[in-house]
């Protein structure tokens, strides 16, 4: 990749960042870059509110003065091959905030819950100087665990109706989570899911948190746990 473009990215040029990410999506090679900020992976089944939770996390982090970059990996459109931009739409409250950058990326048939260029895209976001880096996977099943190879800390988000599913998923995404979050706590079933998660959480020494992303309840606790994980 052109050194001048990377210099523009590191200077905070958002258009340059977008161009650079488009290049790595198209197959351009990016040299290894060292950066200090840990990457947080948000994963979980479809419909549990991952994007809404990330939007709430952004609101909390921005209130504390931190900048945030999010890579939202979306399913590919069967017509255009591009990303179906559901995640970006859910984060539209942050449009116009220079301290927030949200990029959607299509899987383009890549398996594992991420896109092939995800790691390089996150590296470019780090070069751009954002304080927080978040990657959201597509809605995943038991075997889509590629996020563990990209993120330093994996947050598994489930809903209050996933008690039976968690019991069935004794491997895969349940095994790689560093933090379990039960979202939509305003709905029945949370206690059942918490009981189902206790064995897996205990095996990993992971915490189980309960949130309601639409109101922001429990979001601060996620950041506290992630920061504790990063410092350990």
Strand, helix or coil for residue 208: strand
Has this prediction a pTM greater than 0.75? yes
Distance CA 133, CA 65 (A): 15
Q: Residue 4 half-sphere exposure, CB side, CA atoms within 13 Å?
A: 0
The CATH number linked to 97 is: 3.40.50.300
Q: Which of 116-120's residues contact partners 24+ apart within 8 Å by CB, and which partners?
A: 117/21, 117/24, 117/25, 118/71, 118/73, 118/150, 119/149, 119/150, 120/21, 120/24, 120/30
More confident residue, 232 or 173: 232
Between 136 and 164, the more confident residue is 136
Mean pLDDT of 118-146: 84
Give the C-alpha separation, 73 to 80, whole Å: 16
pLDDT at 170 exceeding the cut of 60: no
Q: How confident is the model at residue 166, as a pLDDT? A: 64
Residue numbers of the domain that contains 115: 3-231
Distance of alpha carbon 225 from alpha carbon 207, whole angstroms: 8
Residue 144 and residue 50 in contact, taking contact as beta carbons nearer than 8 Å: no
pLDDT in tens, 43-56: 988 888 998 999 99
Separation CA 162–CA 51 (nearest Å): 18
Domain count, the chain: 1
Report pLDDT for 162.
79
């Amino acid at each position: 990749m052109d050194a001048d473009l990377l210099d523009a990215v590191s200077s905070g040029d958002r258009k340059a960042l977008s161009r650079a990410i488009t290049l790595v999506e198209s197959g351009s090679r990016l040299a290894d870059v060292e950066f200090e900020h840990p990457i947080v992976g948000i994963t979980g089944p479809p419909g549990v509110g991952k994007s809404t939770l990330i939007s709430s996390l952004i609101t909390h982090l921005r209130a504390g003065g931190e900048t945030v970059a999010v890579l939202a990996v979306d399913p590919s459109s069967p017509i255009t091959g591009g990303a179906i931009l559901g995640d970006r739409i859910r984060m539209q409250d942050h449009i116009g905030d220079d301290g927030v950058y949200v990029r959607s990326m299509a899987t383009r048939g890549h398996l594992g819950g991420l896109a092939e260029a995800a790691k390089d895209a996150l590296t470019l976001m780090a070069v751009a100087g954002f304080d927080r880096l978040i990657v959201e996977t597509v809605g995943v099943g038991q075997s889509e665990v590629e996020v563990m190879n990209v993120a330093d800390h994996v947050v598994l988000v489930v809903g209050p109706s996933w008690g039976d599913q968690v019991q069935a998923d004794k491997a895969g995404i349940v095994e790689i989570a560093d933090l379990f979050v039960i979202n939509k706590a305003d709905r029945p079933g949370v206690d059942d899911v918490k009981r189902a998660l206790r064995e897996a959480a205990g095996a990993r020494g992971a915490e189980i948190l309960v949130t309601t992303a639409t109101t922001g309840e429990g979001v601060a606790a996620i950041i506290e746990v992630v920061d504790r994980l990063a410092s350990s």
